[in-house]
Amino acid sequence: MTGVLDRFSLEGKVAIVTGASSGLGVAFATGLAEAGADIAICARRVEKLEATREKVEAIGRRCVAIPGDVSDPEDCNRVVEETVKQLGKVDVLINNAGVGTAAPATRESPDDFRRVIDINLNGSYFMAQACGRAMRDGGGAIINIGSVLGSTTAALPQAAYASSKAAIIGLTRDLAQQWTGRKGIRVNALAPGFFESEMTEQYPEGYLESMMWRVPAGRKGEARELVAAAIFLASDAASYVTGVLLPVDGGLLTT
């Protein structure tokens, strides 16, 4: 009989991480590798994927880098097929790929709005579909990366981004209802609060610091704190957890 800490191990599992060319995507890929998983990484920027692959392999895990655009269902199917071909199976999906805008609603173009929805929402669904078809023999775990902005606002005009992240909550609940009992696939979502990322680099200077009054913890999150929550949801430690939104926000949603 294994101990409770053993249930957090991802040894022997294969995880796909989308949006793994920079920022939190790199942290997810390397963190899951440290927990024992072999990793398939996906993003549109091929040259940056190679840097992530090298980091995962330096940890001692296998890693395949597969260029792809998650807003294209055919690319999603290809990423999953190539993962199974090279690593043997798929146990975990981290639906991390995402973009955001901060444009006033009266000036945001239809194309900009559609782009955010296509990547953040449609891409998460298409990747989940592809993995849902491939996960067998005991199911798997899908972790959608949402945001606290799916549940609140944060003083920037972000209608497209907030809409996409609110929709992730509904997507997560519905897929959990469909797949947990029938296919053994647990589907959960993380709602990060204020973390430094490639997207937040586009925000006005000092914006993140100006928002700390809303965070009971009094600081920005560290990538390792978000990764630890993802490892929990991906592992057998969360075997009775499905359909939930787990905020990792220093208490922001309590204010």
Active site residues: 161
- At a CB cut-off of 8 Å and minimum separation 6, what does 63 contact? 29, 33, 38, 39, 40, 41, 52, 53, 56, 57
In whole angstroms, give the CA distance from residue 68 to residue 103. 27
Place of tokens 């600081």: 219
Take residue 39 and report the two structure tokens written for it: 């990793």
**Phi, psi for 108 (deg, rounded to 5):** -75, 130
- In angstroms, the CA 69 to CA 40 distance is 14
Residue 138 burial (CB count, 10 A): 9
